[in-house]
């Protein structure tokens, strides 16, 4: 039986930790390189993935490419800081209401298969998912490791799942403007999540299906079935 593949972003979509996550990223950089991080406005970078952001800043500061060893070292210290904040400031890592139960229920429904595609690296992503007890054992999770663009991340989820399961339809669930732009370019169905109810942020970019959270699971299922690719907006 062909299934619907539902791919979730993490930050702002399953876990609300954007502020502390971004600040940890910037502080880790400052501690290692002794230079202030340019900006945590991720729209300032060519692509909103940890790989691209880190490499862009290294190139800007040192006029050279980042090495694989540098990326590994940075991730180690970044994850350590996230783990520390997870212990000392657990309130900064919040589950988007209903996210864990929504994922669990989709996993037990034969009509669906679940994936996670995040612009963050795999190891820090797992720190945040573990904190709010979102299961990952039966989920294909692809992070920014080895990927510069979000299209590559999402595409790898689809490719990996498709090797084992017949997929009739794919829906991506995300919270940010870059999620809208990526799914529009891919022609992929999209659901926008705006925890604070500020739907206009994504509506103005062409998103038609928007939710605050997953507390009304039946409504979420309806959104999955009715989701469409973002419309092209002429500005």
The pLDDT of 181-208, averaged and rounded, is 96
Contacts of 141 (CB under 8 A, 6+ apart): 115, 116, 117, 118, 122, 125, 126
Domains in the chain: boundaries: 3-17+94-226, 18-91
Give the model's pLDDT for residue 224. 98
Give the model's pLDDT for residue 81. 96
Contacts of 137 (CB under 8 A, 6+ apart): none
Task: List beta partners, residue 3.
Answer: 167
Summarize pLDDT for 58-108 with one digit per residue, the tens: 999 999 999 999 999 999 999 999 999 999 998 888 999 999 999 999 999
CATH number of 3-17+94-226: 3.40.50.2300, 3.50.50.60, 3.30.1490.190, 3.40.50.1000? 3.40.50.1000
DSSP E strands, the chain: 3-8, 15-16, 94-95, 112-117, 140-142, 167-174, 189-193, 210-211
pTM: 0.95
C-alpha dist (Å) from residue 168 to 56, 98, 133, 163, 186: 37, 26, 29, 13, 16
Give the model's pLDDT for residue 18. 61
């Amino acid at each position: 039986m062909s299934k619907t593949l539902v791919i979730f972003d993490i930050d702002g979509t399953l876990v609300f930790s954007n502020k502390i996550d971004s600040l940890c990223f910037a502080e880790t950089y400052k501690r290692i390189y002794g230079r202030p991080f340019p900006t945590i406005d991720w729209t300032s970078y060519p692509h909103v993935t940890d790989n691209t952001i880190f490499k862009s800043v290294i190139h800007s500061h040192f006029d050279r490419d980042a090495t694989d060893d540098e990326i590994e070292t940075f991730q180690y210290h970044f994850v350590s800081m996230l783990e520390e904040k997870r212990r000392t400031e657990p309130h900064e890592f919040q589950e988007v209401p209903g996210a864990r139960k929504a994922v669990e229920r989709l996993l037990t429904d034969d009509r669906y298969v679940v994936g996670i595609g995040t612009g963050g690296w795999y190891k820090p992503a797992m720190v945040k998912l573990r904190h709010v007890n979102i299961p990952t054992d039966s989920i294909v999770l692809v992070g920014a490791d080895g990927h510069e663009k979000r299209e590559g991340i999402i595409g790898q989820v689809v490719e990996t799942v498709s090797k084992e399961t017949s997929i009739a339809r794919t829906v991506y669930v995300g919270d940010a403007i870059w999620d809208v732009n990526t799914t529009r370019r891919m022609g992929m169905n999209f659901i926008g999540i705006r925890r604070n109810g500020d739907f206009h942020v994504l509506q103005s970019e062409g998103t038609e299906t928007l939710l605050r959270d997953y507390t009304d699971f039946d409504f979420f299922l309806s959104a999955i079935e009715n989701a469409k690719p973002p419309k092209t907006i002429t500005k």
